[in-house]
Structure formats: C-alpha cells, structure tokens
Amino acid sequence: MEQNEKDPINQTEENVVSNNEQPVEESTAETVVENTNEPINFEAKIAELNDKYLRLYSEFDNYRKRTIKEKSDIIRSAGEDVFKAIMPTIDDFERAIKANETVTEVDPIKEGISLIYHKLKVACTAKGLEPMDTIGKAFNADYMESITSIPAPSEDMKGKVIDEVEKGYKLGDKVIRFAKVVVGS
C-alpha cells in the first residue's frame, strides 16, 4: 500500500509535507482522495459534528431539568393528597372548638374528640400510615428505640416490650417513626 492511499485524515498531512520537501500551505481545507476523487471538507465535517454534539448536550440538559421538575411536582402532589385527606379533620376540630365554647357537660366533648380522632386515624391509614404494635413483642432495634429497661414482671417478658412511651409508625415497609419502648430485663 502506498502512502497516498492512506486514510483522508493523514492524507492532508502528507499533502502538506512530503519526502523532505518544504511545507506547502493549502488555500482550502478540501483535499481530494485519490480512490474516490471526491473532495472532503474537514471544516464542514467538524462543524457538523460540533453541531450534533451541542444538540445532544442541550437535549440531555433539557431532559435533566425536566426530570427534576417532574420529581418535585410528584413530591408536591403527594403531600397535597395527604393534606386533602386531613383537611376535613381539621375542619371538624375547628367546629368542635367553636361548639365547645358554650358546652357545660364533658361527655359530649369527649365523644366529639373521639370521633375526630377516629376520622383522622382512618384518613392516615388510607394513605398507608400504619401504627406498629409493640407491647408484648420481642425488642427489635429495626423498629423500636429502647428508652429504658426495667425488671421484667415475669420470666417470659425478659427481652420483650413492657410499655410503649411513643407509638411507632410505618409508611408501607418504611419506618417513619421508631416506637419508643420500655424493655424488660
């Protein structure tokens, strides 16, 4: 294979400098490949590839910005659903506070608060919030936080939860608040 039959990129270098001759500057970036006799415009090729690169970069940047915006919208709308579920309970509390200004008996107040609590609990359960049942169960550090330990009332209660100071909650399979418990020792 002769040197003139090499690839077009090396062809320009060989056209400029060949066999100990002085370099000759070409007036254009076009060269003729001897095999195809078609001119190759390297400046146009570079400009085309640069344009493709800039378009691809711009498209990726737009994709990244769009996904960030969609993610924030999803987070915002998830919170919106929870608040929409809780708003009727807040309205009930406001009505109960207003009605309790003139009430002289305690039993209707207790009953009203119990009904509102039940309504709030149902709304939270519908959104996936589950209270954890811990009393009498073996202590599990994955779901519980031990506040203190006291002597167990019986042998079978050693290492088990005797009292619950603060209830723990899970949202699906994720613990969002650990149960604060007292463990028998």
Contact (CB, 8 A) for 113 and 156 = no
Q: What is the pLDDT of residue 29?
A: 47
**pLDDT range class, residue 57, cuts 50, 70, 90:** very high
Q: What is the pLDDT of residue 35?
A: 56
Mean pLDDT (whole number) for 171-181? 88
Mean pLDDT (whole number) for 157-182? 88
Predicted confidence (pLDDT) per residue in 96-115, tens digit: 888 888 878 888 888 888 88
**What is this structure's pTM?**
0.53
Predicted confidence (pLDDT) per residue in 16-51, tens digit: 444 444 544 444 444 544 556 667 788 899 999 999
Specify the residue for token string 């500057």: 25
Beta bridge partners of 149: 183
User: Based on the number of CB atoms within 10 Å of its own CB, is 181 exposed (0-12), middle (13-18) or buried (19 or more)?
Assistant: buried
Q: What is the pLDDT of residue 36?
A: 62
Distance between CA 65 and CA 76 in Å, rounded? 17
Predicted confidence (pLDDT) per residue in 2-13, tens digit: 444 444 444 444
Domains of the chain: 27-127 (3.90.20.20), 130-185 (2.30.22.10)
Q: What is the pLDDT of residue 104?
A: 81
Mean pLDDT (whole number) for 163-184? 89
Predicted confidence (pLDDT) per residue in 113-146, tens digit: 888 888 888 888 888 888 888 888 888 888 899 9
Contact (CB, 8 A) for 96 and 116 = yes
